[in-house]
Amino acid sequence: MAAPPGGGEPGVLRRNAVALGFLLPAAVILTVMIVYPTIYTIIRSFYGKNAHEGFLPSGQFAGIDLDQFYWARQRAKRALLFWVVAVLTLTGLIAAGAWTLGGNIAALI
């Protein structure tokens, strides 16, 4: 068989065609489901509460008490820390149990 023109190696695009075939739909879905709504929400937050109010450069955020949000953020951080520790501990215990059971499976049978 004759070697393909250009040195014998297929091009990068041809070599990675299958990977690109899987990544392209995933990138489109990610953009449509996550990136677009995030950008839309940020832009929409600068408008009034209903669709008839115009652009409010700082009107939505003018009366926010930052101290209240500080304590709410601290509470959320503690809750997140609790759940991360709980889930990691539970996952570790399940993995250790599966590892032990898997190592002793011959003795159990």
Specify if 79 maps to a domain: yes
Cα(20)–Cα(9) distance, rounded to whole angstroms?
A: 18
69 shares a domain with 50: no
77 shares a domain with 40: no
- pLDDT score for 38: 93
Specify if 1 maps to a domain: no
Residue reference for tokens 């997140």: 80
Listed in sequence order, the DSSP H helices in the chain are 12-15, 17-30, 36-44, 66-103, 105-108
Specify if 14 maps to a domain: yes
Domain final residue, candidates 30, 48, 63: 63
Each residue's pLDDT tens digit in the chain (109 positions)?
Answer: 555 555 556 677 777 888 888 899 999 999 999 999 999 988 887 777 776 667 666 666 666 677 778 888 899 999 999 999 999 999 999 988 888 877 666 665 5
Domain that holds residue 69: 65-109
Number of domains the chain contains: 2
75 shares a domain with 39: no
